[in-house]
Amino acid sequence: MITDRATLPDPPEGLTMIDDVALEAFMGRVVADLGGILGPAGLDASLYAEDVEFSDPVTRIHGRTGYLLGIQALRVALDPAFDIHSARPAGPDAFRVRWTVRYHLPLPVPFGLRDRPFADLSGESTYTCDVGRGVVTRIVDTWDGLSPEGQRTFSAEALRDVAGAVLQAAVQPAAPGEQPAYVTLRRTGRYEVRRYESFPAAERPAGGAGAGAGAGGAVPVFRSGRATPGEGDGEGTVSFMLPRGGPGGAGDAPAATEKALGVVAALRFGGRATEREARLAAEELRELLDREGLRAAPGYELALYNPPGGPLPPFLGRSEVLLRLLNWDDAAGGPTKAFAPVQ
């Protein structure tokens, strides 16, 4: 939860220190209360005006009762998980909160062909408040990856975005075994920005026997790659995740180490994960990032989630290219100001 003053920027121009202190104190109360948004008690109703207005690209609600009931309905139907990344003042009577919510979709899971399906949504909420009364009067949510026109309530672009996320979750094949934990910091229609926790992995040189799979066919497998073809193709390393708390390498098996991916951009693609397809996907992702002023380190990681000899045909397989980001800013939900694209 983000309530520490050290994580917040200086007050916007035109905001006095007294105003800043009052707004920050109220913002801290609201953000702290958001930590219980998905609990049985829900939000503290006293922090919201009776006639509070809420809007996002698919919803418009007027009134505190409808707003609180809507949140409880989502909690019951979709079992969401909510992460707050940053909070900052946005004027004399407003502040912004960046967040990600993960919805678990009530879809059947036949024959264990996929994990429990989920869809991530990331964006920013702008809270307008009456600091003197200590209430929020308006909340406007915007979603990452939508155009300004797409942010309008009931926009066709937003509905397509929701449908695409649900469809992808519905056909997502399962990856056996433990998976690396991560938080989605930003989701667009084409790629995601994630922060991975470090995880135990075994590592071996690429190109060796069994380089395409982990021990016993375990996945995911992470293979380092070059950004462009040339001398040295096929070099690098292959690593696969080990169960946390499990045994390390033994005999000829590679020793366990901690793999730290950090903040990465991830682009998913289907079909056979050949070196050529991985490189093309990495080039596409790098172009998408360049347009938004995001800088990525050279090379890429290819994440393979399909066990060798598994039941799924290649076109249903799941592979991802990961590019390590050099200038991600949690508060901005994008590049640091020094690297922001010129408008």
Residue 184 is assigned to a structural domain of this protein: no
Give the Å distances, CA to CA, from 202 to 2, 233, 252: 35, 21, 12
pLDDT for 32-78, tens place per residue? Answer: 999 888 777 789 999 999 999 999 999 999 999 999 999 989 888 88
Residue 182 is assigned to a structural domain of this protein: no
Residues 58 and 125 in one domain: yes
> Phi/psi of residue 315, each to 5°?
-70, -15
Residues 133 and 275 in one domain: no
Residues 199 and 239 in one domain: yes
pTM: 0.79
Q: What is the mean predicted confidence (pLDDT) over 82-106? A: 91
Residue 120 is assigned to a structural domain of this protein: yes
Residues 59 and 143 in one domain: yes
Residue 180 is assigned to a structural domain of this protein: no
Instruction: Quote the domain boundaries for residue 217.
Output: 189-339
* 207 vs 80, residue with greater confidence: 80
Residues 144 and 207 in one domain: no
Residues 23 and 55 in one domain: yes
Residues 41 and 99 in one domain: yes
Q: Is 127 exposed, middle or buried (0-12, 13-18, 19+ CB in 10 A)?
A: buried
Domain count, the chain: 2
Determine the 3-state secondary structure of 68 from DSSP: helix
Residue 263 is assigned to a structural domain of this protein: yes
Q: Which of 130-144, 217-231, 313-327 has the lowest mean pLDDT?
A: 217-231
**Last residue of one domain, picked from the residues 114, 142, 172:** 172
Residues 143 and 193 in one domain: no
